[in-house]
A and B are shown apart, each in its own frame.
Chain A
């Protein structure tokens, strides 16, 4: 009855193979491990986590930019897991990516006009006369002066370059855009500007976003739903409001507690919510629950058995043994 979701991933697993040498057996790192995910038309799903959690790899796998080891990805109900060659290139007009570093994501030898015209040309814009107005319109939609078209990337600041990169992603009117940490290379005063631009474009072109970020505080108000990842797994997912009001997973609570707040009167987070130690290497994740080495509420069962997702209502789900077998009192 209703439209199929924009993205549906089932059991998605991405593996990287380490270099094999004479003395070392080949190592396999599961960057993304058995992830189920659904993104509905028109929503903004933020994927939040620390380095090595696999959030960027997940985004790339959904767009088929990195090989998928197991599982499948559906785009608007169509299985795209095995698409290749021409069929994949054609499908690419409908899902786009925005990268972290606007200094690296624009070809320094192509003018802004050429950069924005490129997707149109590649996807068979035969009428060359129609390209120019489209490019100029997109520039103004991205908050840039159309007179910038003939200039080159090095003439622009980081914020302006990121606007160009966003314009390039949006010019084909895709259904779905993966934004891979698009704010983290920008100054604080520009981050909010760009975030507001994302909101405006979403409304104008009815876009759906997967927004990858390490900054939970930044995405709280902006995203509809948030998925928290840790070492290749989604540990909690739910609406932003639910996750803020009632975070179920100890890691989500720790992320919220660790996020600095510019309000000096905000309550100091309880020591129980803060983490010790560093993130383990994704090449060698802990047995059982992957979070148990840093969890302030670790139990014996966590060290041996991997928790499954518990449904907490309203679409909120979390994978933690505390939700299924609360610790004994005393």
Chain B
């Protein structure tokens, strides 16, 4: 009846650890892409255009996941594509977390008019069709890495703002905050030392969900042709490239699609796992 602590730990955390493992593998592949990828992302092999994956008739071990219409190695492009997807994701998470947490913090702590104004902003953002906004912004200010990161961050800051606001509203009524006030701790110090540290765990949870959302958003923007220019492969661009070849070269679409789906799933698994671990009601 008694199980070892390790097996209990593994059983309870299996899905979360799986998600974490996938994310780590993707991140390592992205960082070490020049060493891991068999070819450069733009290396053209005109002799092997539209080669199918290795396990299908006509495929070869030279191109494990096949090639695209210009004979570029899909495996290599997926690996390099991870660089773009993950860095857009990470950049958007950082910017979104900073903006959203700050707004949530102010809104939750001060309440009243501040809260009403900021909550209105959140609702406007939620009501606005995001794709439309993104296309408008990117076509006005031009694509490129920074613009895409900022636009994707715009899609996610609301998540932080809402969660942090709720968390702050419950933390600010804790007795230790009242105790700090009655000792004479000034407001900015209360926010920094008492409120934020106790709301931080929920920011981490939102961040892992938002990472997944950001990767998906970047893919969608690139697919729509308003993402980062086509020279740098991103999973979204690859999906877009493959669109016209769906009939005779499905792998051009399937491979970046699977990579996107796996990474997003991994991010969500991590988020779920962190949420369960951090929520004290579930932990006890």
Q: A: which residues have CB within 8 A of B?
A: 63, 65, 89-90, 92-93, 96-97, 99-101, 104-110, 118-119, 122-123, 165, 168, 172
Contact = CB atoms under 8 A, between A and B. Distances in A.
B198 A107 contact: yes
Given A104-B176, A106-B176, A107-B176, A119 B193 contact: no
Question: Chain B interface residue count: which class?
Answer: 10 to 19
Given A96-B183, A97-B179, A101-B175, 8 more contacts: A90-B184, A106-B179, A107-B193, A107-B198, A118-B180, A118-B183, A119-B183, A122-B184
Nearest to A100: B175
Contacts of B250: none
Contacts of B179: 97, 99, 105-106, 165, 168
- Scoring A92, A107, A122 by chain B CB atoms within 10 A of each residue's CB, the highest score goes to A107
Contacts of A165: 179
Given A92-B183, A123-B184, A99 B194 contact: no
B121 to A, nearest CB: 24
Contacts of A104: 174-176
Contacts of A89: 184, 186
Contacts, number: 57
Q: What DSSP secondary structure best describes chain A's contact surface? A: loop
Contacts of B45: none
A20 to B, nearest CB: 15
Nearest to A153: B176
A122 B179 CA distance: 13
A96 B179 CA distance: 9
The 10 closest A-B pairs by CB, nearest first: A92-B184, A109-B197, A105-B175, A104-B175, A89-B184, A107-B176, A97-B182, A119-B183, A99-B175, A105-B179
A96 B184 CA distance: 9
22 contacts: A89-B184, A90-B184, A92-B184, A96-B182, A96-B183, A97-B182, A99-B178, A101-B175, A105-B179, A106-B176, A107-B197, A108-B176, A108-B198, A118-B183, A119-B183, A119-B184, A122-B183, A122-B184, A122-B186, A122-B189, A168-B183, A172-B183
Interface string B163-197: 00000000000111011111111100100011001
Interface in B204-262: none
- Scoring B181, B183, B194 by chain A CB atoms within 10 A of each residue's CB, the highest score goes to B183
Contacts of A92: 182-184
B197 A122 contact: no
Nearest to A104: B175
Given A65-B182, A89-B186, A119-B184, A110 B193 contact: yes
A118 B183 CA distance: 8
A216 to B, nearest CB: 24
